[in-house]
Structure 1
Amino acid sequence: MIYQRKAYERLLQWKQQQGRTSMLIEGARRVGKSVLAEEFGRREYARCLLIDFSEAPTEVFDLFLHQRHDTNSFFRYLFAFYAFQPVERDTLIIFDEVQFCPQARAFTKQLVKDGRYDYIETGSLVSIQSNVKDILIPSEEESLELNPFDFDEFLWAMNEKPLADLIQDCYRHKKPLPDALHRKAERLFREYMLVGGMPQAIHAYITDNSFMSADQVKRSILRLYRRDIEKYGAIEAKNIAAIFDEIPAQLSRHEKRFRLSSLKKGARYQTYQTAFFWLADARLINPCYRSTDPSIGLGMNMEQSAVKCYMADTGLLITHAFSDGTITADSIYRDILFGKIGLNEGMIVENIVAQQFKASGHKLFYFTKPDEETRKSRIEIDFLLPEPYENAAGHYRISPIEVKSGKRYSTASLDKMKTIYGKHIGTEYVLAPKPFASQGDRVQVPLYMSGIL
């Protein structure tokens, strides 16, 4: 079950630096970190040693605790224990699940300086206090965030790389796909929304051609996440679980901003701030914060307590939404696929766009402006992205983005946004299940192209 990942190219670039840093691959559990690291080691090095700290014996932990003063002795004992023969300057050593041995992560500073071998670490929850306590994070460590499969990677796994390339080419040349291929891309994107981007779920779907098989995998992943919350959430476990369980209900609301009052009357953000951080660090959610000023430097005007809490994987969101049953029937998935069931499609579509933006490296911000008389939102913009604006000599402007789940829609918020904040606004985007089209500064982009923005 080896699928092509975009992160592989990033690892190749790192390897060309010839051992000047270690590489930490971060990501949610079951997102494919270990598989990527092992495949990279197998293909790009003469020898590869994987040390899995989630199951390593005490003797291995003792080496990292007591032999760091002498790298020669450390290597002799380590290689003898694993009966491993390295090739100098052509060996990769993988510290898998490094969060279970923080001392190994700190030790990479000396190992990189030693220069004989290359090092990749993989881990989840690597930033929580218990996993960085009493260690110095090495400055020689780079990091790579591995997200669930984006739509390109899903198409590659489905043997649809020519279609993926055509979608990229059409966006680059600002033209729509031919009708038949547009319909095919839309169908595959809807399948991607339902299956999600977790490698095991995709593999189950491809192997069995069954949404139900993918659903079984996703339920096992959600159970794993719940166990992690109970085991590693410490005193915040109750709050973390409460937020996690509430995500589908919150996203099904029109505004989608997470309302803490649904958890407890009078709840304040300060009480749950650590829980939100834990979920974000575990890569279980993609938080999207309200920016109070739609201008360059969105993070400087971020209202942290006004957050939309998207799930990191949309396929998991759908299974999570139906978690009251032991399994989600294949027929329910197909009804969702063909729009025959009353699930809030806006929730799914907005979540998948957030997922694509996150995979493309964007930080997530939204914007609302209430009417001063009614106090209801007069402007609601789903996402804000800074990007070069052609009509401003390539200088950065803010691109407001509205996400539509249906083919009929209005653009009242975009119209008002341009009128009020014109000098800050660049290209305006409407992401909808319709072909590519543009008129002036406004561009209609099919949902399957959202990852290209």
Structure 2
Amino acid sequence: MEKCDATMKLLRRKIDRFLEQWKADANHKPLIVRGARQIGKTESIRQFARTHYANVVEINFVFQKQYKQIFSDGYEVDQIIKNISLIDPSITFPDGTLFFFDEIQDCPDCATALKSFRLDGRYDVICSGSLMGLYYKQIESNSVGYKQDYEMHSMDFEEFLWAKGYNETLTADLLQHMIEVKPLSETQMKVLMDIFKDYMIVGGMPEVVSTYIRQGNFSGTLELQRQLLLDYEEDITKYAKEGIERARILSVFRHISVFLAKNNKKFQVSKIATGARNREYIGSVEWLANAGIINPCYCMEIPELPLKGNYNPAQYKIYFKDTGLLIASLDEESQEDLRGNRNFGTYKGAIYENIVGDMLVKAGYGLYYYRNEKSTLEMDFFIRDARTLIPVEVKSQDSSTKSLVKLIESERYPDIHYGIKLGYRNIGFNGQFYTFPYFLTFLFKPFLRERGNANQ
């Protein structure tokens, strides 16, 4: 497995390539980069700005509150520039300048001004905002048609591999193994699984990853993760508008790991507060999902296509957006077991489910599961290719796959032709389902695309 020089660029991100493509497009629009807090939005944009623009105007609406008033006289670009100059006359605005407006959730008027910047055409604009508190319905006009949105996540497994020093050669090799259904070597399995276990513990938050890479161990990472959890709670208190709503959101957030520890992992509102009703908390779950903190996984009514139109919004599991934060939320004894003994099979398999769910979301999938009323048939996740519904089973132990086989063989589920089983297993196919090691989840999209092309 070929490595590159990890010291040249410690935390390379996928947004780097996107930003270059955005700038290269002659018709690019003002860009809003959205995502949860502390996932690396600001640093990625700054790095891009430093290397691609001769002049950059950066304004942070949280730390530089005086700049919120630059839109008070209207949204025309010349008026905005005039007001910026009044606050700081040393700032210059040559054509081709990049305006970087950071933390726009604290200044909704900024998003309204993007239409004017687009029509003016002299300047490029990139905005960054935490999904927490970034609600377009609070904005007078959100410049529909005059902006582009990009949602950023914490680091996925491929980015983690880059941070460890690997490059695209490894990714291409792994994908080719999947396409050819060619098992990995013993060395490949061991090395990559060890890296993957570190990724589960560390997660993808850039500061945590950077600390882990720099030190070569987990020292200090747990403290950083726990502080992030506290920061999320603080932001919930800040951005949730009403006291009742705030209390419900916090209650949901604090109970995620509680329900993941149970066998069926279904989030049950009735058990988090006396007399609580699901309809009262659906908004809280949506709020946390929109804030980029959780990945809700909805129960399908029937295992058939389409996915988006075939689920029950009142039945769901909740996974942390970052598995490192799930592990950080556990008790001290679990921490010692996981970090010391790497016993990831404990906790009712929730850690493996959480990491697979997060990898699927970062690959562009929505999360759906199935469990019938008698609990005789259940499946962890479903994804799809162009024509087929694909059940994905996540195994923390090498146990049987009764539900997976039943879904594939039964004539009751005509949309299902094959499945995927994830575990500590090598690449294979038995005629009914593929087996893959967990760490290959990030390659499902290109694998299914290549598989579909080959079967046409």
Q: TM-score, normalised by structure 2?
A: 0.89
Deviation at 1:381, TM superposition (A): 0.7
Give 1:233's aligned amino acid.
A
Secondary structure, counterpart of 1:172 in structure 2: helix
Residue 413 of structure 1 corresponds to 403
Q: Give the one of 41, 51, 64 matched to 1:43.
A: 51
Listed one character per residue, the Cα deviations across residues 256-315 of structure 1 (whole Å, up to 9, x for unaligned) are 110112212442211111111110111100011111122222111120010110000000
**Is 1:141 paired with 2:130?**
no
Q: Aligned partners of 1:108, 1:352: CA distance in 2, in Å?
A: 36
Q: Aligned partners of 1:276, 1:437: CA distance in 2, in Å?
A: 37
Q: Give the one of 88, 92, 96 matched to 2:98.
A: 92
87 and 440 in structure 1: CA distance in 2 versus 1, 3 angstrom threshold = farther
Q: CA RMSD in A?
A: 2.1
Residue 3 of structure 2 corresponds to none
Q: Is the 8 A contact 1:98 1:105 kept in 2?
A: yes
Listed one character per residue, the Cα deviations across residues 325-365 of structure 1 (whole Å, up to 9, x for unaligned) are 6x997x5443242x2x8841611000000000010110111
Residue 84 of structure 2 corresponds to 78
Listed one character per residue, the Cα deviations across residues 105-151 of structure 1 (whole Å, up to 9, x for unaligned) are 1111111110011111111136665x642511111121111111111
Give 1:447's aligned amino acid.
Y
Residue 418 of structure 2 corresponds to 427
Residue 262 of structure 2 corresponds to 253
Residue 23 of structure 2 corresponds to 15
**Is 1:274 paired with 2:283?**
yes
Give 1:335's aligned amino acid.
G
Q: Tell me the percent identity.
A: 30
Deviation at 1:46, TM superposition (A): 2.4
Q: Is the 8 A contact 2:133 2:239 kept in 1?
A: no
50 and 336 in structure 1: CA distance in 2 versus 1, 3 angstrom threshold = farther
Secondary structure, counterpart of 2:298 in structure 1: strand
**Is 1:107 paired with 2:110?**
no
Listed one character per residue, the Cα deviations across residues 148-196 of structure 1 (whole Å, up to 9, x for unaligned) are 1111100100112254443233223322211111111111101100110
Q: Is the 8 A contact 1:366 1:384 kept in 2?
A: yes
Deviation at 1:57, TM superposition (A): 3.5
Q: Aligned partners of 2:215, 2:334: CA distance in 1, in Å?
A: 16
Q: Is the 8 A contact 2:405 2:432 kept in 1?
A: no
Deviation at 1:223, TM superposition (A): 1.1
Secondary structure, counterpart of 1:298 in structure 2: coil
Matched ranges for 1:191-206 at <5 A? 191-206=198-213
Give 1:382's aligned amino acid.
D
Residue 447 of structure 2 corresponds to none
Q: Aligned partners of 2:275, 2:346: CA distance in 1, in Å?
A: 30
Residue 152 of structure 1 corresponds to 158
Give 1:362's aligned amino acid.
Y
Matched ranges for 1:107-256 at <5 A? 107-125=113-131, 132-139=137-144, 140-161=146-167, 162-235=169-242, 236-256=245-265
Q: Is the 8 A contact 2:112 2:142 kept in 1?
A: yes
Q: Give the one of 301, 316, 319 matched to 2:328.
A: 319
Q: Aligned partners of 1:336, 1:383: CA distance in 2, in Å?
A: 28
120 and 421 in structure 1: CA distance in 2 versus 1, 3 angstrom threshold = farther
Q: Is the 8 A contact 2:10 2:210 kept in 1?
A: no
Q: Aligned partners of 1:151, 1:366: CA distance in 2, in Å?
A: 23
Secondary structure, counterpart of 2:56 in structure 1: strand
**Is 1:56 paired with 2:64?**
yes
Deviation at 1:239, TM superposition (A): 0.6
137 and 73 in structure 1: CA distance in 2 versus 1, 3 angstrom threshold = closer
Give 2:303's aligned amino acid.
P
Q: Aligned partners of 1:348, 1:181: CA distance in 2, in Å?
A: 22
Secondary structure, counterpart of 2:263 in structure 1: coil
189 and 207 in structure 1: CA distance in 2 versus 1, 3 angstrom threshold = same
Secondary structure, counterpart of 2:376 in structure 1: strand
Deviation at 1:13, TM superposition (A): 2.4
Secondary structure, counterpart of 1:424 in structure 2: coil
274 and 82 in structure 1: CA distance in 2 versus 1, 3 angstrom threshold = farther
Residue 369 of structure 1 corresponds to 372
Q: Aligned partners of 2:372, 2:311: CA distance in 1, in Å?
A: 14
Q: Give 5+ residue unaligned stretches, structure 1.
A: 371-375, 389-395
Residue 299 of structure 1 corresponds to 308
Listed one character per residue, the Cα deviations across residues 382-402 of structure 1 (whole Å, up to 9, x for unaligned) are 1111113xxxxxxx1100110
Q: Is the 8 A contact 1:102 1:132 kept in 2?
A: no
100 and 294 in structure 1: CA distance in 2 versus 1, 3 angstrom threshold = same
Deviates more, 1:24-33 or 1:226-235: 226-235
16 and 167 in structure 1: CA distance in 2 versus 1, 3 angstrom threshold = same
Secondary structure, counterpart of 2:372 in structure 1: strand
Q: Is the 8 A contact 2:380 2:394 kept in 1?
A: yes
Q: Give 5+ residue unaligned stretches, structure 2.
A: 1-8, 445-456
Residue 454 of structure 2 corresponds to none
Q: Aligned partners of 2:424, 2:254: CA distance in 1, in Å?
A: 29
180 and 266 in structure 1: CA distance in 2 versus 1, 3 angstrom threshold = same
Q: Give the one of 336, 340, 345 matched to 1:335.
A: 340
Give 2:306's aligned amino acid.
G
251 and 336 in structure 1: CA distance in 2 versus 1, 3 angstrom threshold = farther
Deviates more, 1:262-271 or 1:183-192: 262-271
229 and 358 in structure 1: CA distance in 2 versus 1, 3 angstrom threshold = same
